[in-house]
């Protein structure tokens, strides 16, 4: 039986938010969307963790969603980041995403508050009741300080508009339990775990490394779908050092912005409390990019 959210299988790229002199660089953002269209990216996800959503004002958050939806113009799907630790704000942002023409909303589990499992359920139910837009759950306890348990995810997944989950616990056991007990499309939230998750029944990835090599991520996904496990494994092992540095050298999105600056694809500008890579970290990242053939 097909899972809910099949339309979001494949490659979704967690977009960076380009800055220039402290402000959102809208021209660069539009250029990014156009580039992903040419690369064959299936879906782009603005204003998530990689898009530095915590340091955007409410107006900026909405502006990024509006610009990306306008520039996408139906050429690539848009999964807008609309999560918040305030249920009211999550409802407001999701309504805005719907009005802007987004194809789905990516809602991170409420952070800092540390809700009960019932609180998680009621949070998502409130958004689903208020807005008719496909909802993708995002569970990343390393950032939110509280895990959404698989039983809770399965319960939330029974809401008609909840169609998929970005699984970022790093636990194959948790992913397996979600796959066994729900009908949600499961997307990897960690680039280095995409292939293992596909083997369990996952259907794609919300990718950081896709900001620079979407074609290579697509090639891995396509090889797996075609039953070419050796080819998929080869792609995974080539991507792995890049994934390791982009998510391991420093907190995301510091390394990916550093890489995009080295590749002349972004200013590399971050907002405090995010800070640039150290000289040593920059040298290590440059070495990895060279070894991959990007520099």
CB atoms within 10 A of CB 117: 16
Q: Which of 4, 77, 98, 166 is catalytic?
A: 166
Give the span between the Cα atoms of 198 and 112, in whole angstroms.
30
Is residue 166 annotated as part of the catalytic site, yes or no? yes
Is residue 125 annotated as part of the catalytic site, yes or no? no
> Per the structure block, which two tokens stand in for 216?
């290579």
Collapsing DSSP states into helix, strand and coil, what is residue 73?
Answer: coil
What distances in angstroms separate CA 82 from CA 86, 187, 277, one per listed residue? 11, 17, 28
Give the span between the Cα atoms of 213 and 192, in whole angstroms.
14
Is residue 14 within 8 A of residue 207, CB to CB? The reply is: yes
Q: Which of 138, 146, 238, 257 is catalytic?
A: 138
| DSSP state letter for 20 | E
Annotated catalytic residues are 138, 166
């Amino acid at each position: 039986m097909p899972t809910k959210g099949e339309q979001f299988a494949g490659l979704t790229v967690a977009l960076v938010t380009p800055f220039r002199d402290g402000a959102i660089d809208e021209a660069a953002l539009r250029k990014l969307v156009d580039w992903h269209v040419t690369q064959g990216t299936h879906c782009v996800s603005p204003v998530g963790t990689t898009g530095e959503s915590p340091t955007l004002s409410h107006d900026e958050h909405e502006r990024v969603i509006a610009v990306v939806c306008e520039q996408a113009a139906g050429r690539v799907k848009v999964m807008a980041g609309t999560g918040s630790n305030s249920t009211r704000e999550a409802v407001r942002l999701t309504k805005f995403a719907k009005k802007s023409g987004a194809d789905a909303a990516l809602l991170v589990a409420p952070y800092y508050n540390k809700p009960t499992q019932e609180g998680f359920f009621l949070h998502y139910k409130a958004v689903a009741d208020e807005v008719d837009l496909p909802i993708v759950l995002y569970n990343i306890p390393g950032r939110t300080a509280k895990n959404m348990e698989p039983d809770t995810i399965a319960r939330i997944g029974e809401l008609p508009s909840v169609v998929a989950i970005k699984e970022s616990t790093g636990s194959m056991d948790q992913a397996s339990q979600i796959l066994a007990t729900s009908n949600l499309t499961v997307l990897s939230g960690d680039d280095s775990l995409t292939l293992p998750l596909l083997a369990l029944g996952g259907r794609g990835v919300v990718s950081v490394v896709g900001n620079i090599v979407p074609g290579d991520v697509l090639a891995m996904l396509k090889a797996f779908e075609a039953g070419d496990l050796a080819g998929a494994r080869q792609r995974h092992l080539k991507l792995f050092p890049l994934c390791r540095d982009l998510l391991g050298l420093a907190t995301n999105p510091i390394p990916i912005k550093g890489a995009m600056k080295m590749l002349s694809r972004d200013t590399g500008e971050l907002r405090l409390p995010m800070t640039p890579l150290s000289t040593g970290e920059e040298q290590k990242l440059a070495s990895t990019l060279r070894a991959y053939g990007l520099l």
